[in-house]
Amino acid sequence: MARFVLSLHSAPSDHDTTQRLYKFALACLAQGHAIDAIFLYQHGVFHASEHINLATDELAIKSLWHQLHQHNINLMLCVTAAEKRGLNLASTGVFSVAGLAEFAMLASEADKWVQFK
C-alpha cells in the first residue's frame, strides 16, 4: 500500500477544497493506504486558528480535523505561514507546529504528495 502526504493551501472558507481533502483522506485510509501527514500551508494555516467560528449550517471544519486526528494522522501547521498570519502558536489544537524542512522530509519519503489548493 502507498504512503501519502497531503497539503492544504486554502482558507477554511473554501469548503469545497476542505471537503475534497477530507474525502480523499478517508478513501485512502479505507483502501489500506497510510497518510503520514497533512500539512497546512499558506492560507491553510487558518484551519488551526482558535478563532474559527462558522455558522452551524456551514461545514464543521473543526470536527473534520478531529476525525482525521483520531485516525492517527500527523496534522502539521507551517510555523512560518502561521506567524506571518498572526496565529497563536501556543494554541493550535490537534495540529503540531512544523517547518518546511520537516514537511519536505516527509514528502520525500512518501510515495505520493497530493496538494489541495
- Residues marked active site are found at 78
Neighbours of 61 (CB within 10 A): 18
Residue with cell 461545514: 59
Q: Interior CA angle at 47 toward 67 and 84, to 5°? A: 150
Neighbours of 27 (CB within 10 A): 10
Order of strands across the sheet that contains 74-78: 96-98, 74-78, 34-40, 3-8, 112-116
